[in-house]
Structure 1
Amino acid sequence: MRVEGGRRLTRQLRSLPDAQRKHVSDAIDKSLAEGVRVARVLVPERSGNLRDSIEAERAADGMSGRIVAGDDTKRGEIKAHTVEGGRDPASRGGKMDAQPYIGPTRSYLAKKFKNRISRAIRKAAKEAARHG
């Protein structure tokens, strides 16, 4: 999910005092954990390797994150993308229908994530205003 003005928002969130940043960081953690759970339910399962490789990745600043799939090898990354998007019949290995799991997770949880982050920002702003 992409937020319009996301860079500006991230810059503003970084400028919050640590006590208020914690509210937003907790909301991001909760959203990422929920996204991982839903993606693991939706992923097609043969051996369970792809399911087990789905994890949350936090940015260095702590104010953003993403859900990634596939192990650290190039092959694992290719497999995760192939399952998500499918494969063209002209490709080596033949046709494979898409079995999306990250996209539907994003669609299913987008509104919930947005509302959770909005509540955390409001809470942080109120707390910052209260404590001057």
Structure 2
Amino acid sequence: MSLTLLQVALGGAIGASGRYLTGIAMARLLGKGFPWGTLTVNILGSFAMGLIVVALAHLSANRFAPFLMTGVLGGFTTFSAFSLDVATLWERGDTVAALGYVAVSVLVSIAALFAGLLVAREIWQ
């Protein structure tokens, strides 16, 4: 197993555990009637991605990106990677691509979820 894969796996375990604990904490704090845990990890993960991508570049420490960005933040929330992709397209001046990516990602992902629900319900009816 490569060292990079091990870093991603370890970071993913840490991030997923953090996501689980955040979900529990937010449900206890604000109730279970709204997905507060998911919203919280998406916002915190996106904020952390912004901090980390700049810090790693500034410190010439991109060797920690697989552990921190793909592993920890990927396990915590993939929304942070999505947010970075949008910001990268936007900062490159690809405004149409950035907005299209947001629209397609959100709409097609939700449609895919409903398609998965439909297929699974047909199978297990």
Into which bin does the TM-score normalised by the smaller protein fall?
under 0.3
- TM-score, structure 1 as length reference: 0.27
- TM-score, structure 2 as length reference: 0.28
Asked which structure has the greater CA Rg, the reply is 1
Q: RCO higher in 1 or 2 (8 Å CA, sep ≥ 6)?
A: 2
